[in-house]
């Protein structure tokens, strides 16, 4: 079974689309929404869509970690609450799981913005470069890996931010596989601001800035 973990905080506006995109994949799955104290209708939306809600305080890293602990599947898929997986994602996941080398690898989705324009394409190109050259997919691209591999890595650290970079570095570039299928996002922020924040998060991580300080940059 595939266990899907989604960390949320006031994500009612986007969560329905994310959860609906998981339907009809042909994969046996359970969905756990690890909510960090939403004050909107996020828990209600999750439950109405058939997900199980666990409430976890302490930031996204703690949510992902607790969400994984609340599941029982052999494989784990971590998603952000505004990531809409393209049709065909189930086939991509099934093919990855069937490969004999995938027990010790992790996979992520292609990043795509639901926007027409050169700025969107430029940000997508920047993400491709980061994944290809640095081996650092971010959490908004999802992460698929076998539970035994995840446990052997020590799982997500209970960090308020950059928990995705931290785990990707422990996985290592040579053990990361990119899917052709995309995780689609609506551009809620300006493209320049999003790109600047992503680069700043990366820079703070490499220069050793404490995660609780990096958290001020936002998710």
Digit-coded pLDDT (tens) for 203-219: 665 655 555 555 444 44
Digit-coded pLDDT (tens) for 152-175: 999 999 987 889 999 999 999 999
- How many Å apart are CA 121 and CA 166, to the nearest integer? 26
Sheet holding 143-146, edge to edge: 52-55, 29-35, 2-8, 75-78, 143-146, 106-113, 176-185, 84-85
What pLDDT is recorded for position 119?
Answer: 85
- Which are the contacts of 51, defined by CB distance < 8 A and separation ≥ 6? 6, 19, 31, 32, 33
% of the chain at pLDDT higher than 90: 78
What pLDDT is recorded for position 40?
Answer: 97
| Superfamily (CATH H level) for 2-191 | Spore Coat Polysaccharide Biosynthesis Protein SpsA; Chain A (3.90.550.10)
pTM for the whole structure: 0.90
């Amino acid at each position: 079974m595939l266990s899907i973990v989604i960390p949320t905080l006031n994500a009612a506006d986007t969560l329905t689309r994310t959860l609906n995109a998981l339907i009809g994949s042909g994969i046996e799955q359970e969905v756990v929404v690890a909510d960090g104290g939403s004050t909107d209708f996020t828990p209600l939306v999750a439950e109405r869509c058939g997900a199980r809600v666990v409430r976890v305080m302490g930031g996204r890293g703690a949510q992902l970690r607790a969400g994984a602990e609340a599941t029982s599947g052999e494989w784990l898929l971590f998603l952000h609450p505004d990531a809409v997986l393209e049709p065909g994602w189930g086939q991509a996941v099934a093919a990855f799981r069937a490969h004999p080398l995938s027990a010790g690898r992790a996979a992520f989705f292609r990043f795509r913005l639901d926007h027409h324009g050169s700025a969107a394409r430029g940000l997508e190109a920047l993400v491709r470069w980061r994944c290809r050259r640095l081996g650092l997919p971010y959490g908004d691209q999802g992460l698929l890996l076998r539970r035994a591999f995840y446990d052997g890595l020590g799982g997500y650290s209970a960090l308020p931010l950059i928990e995705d970079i931290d785990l990707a570095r422990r996985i290592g570039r040579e053990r990361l596989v990119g899917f052709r299928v995309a995780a689609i996002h609506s551009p809620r922020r300006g493209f320049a601001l999003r790109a600047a924040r992503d680069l700043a998060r990366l820079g703070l991580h490499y220069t050793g800035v404490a995660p609780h300080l990096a958290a001020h940059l936002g998710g």
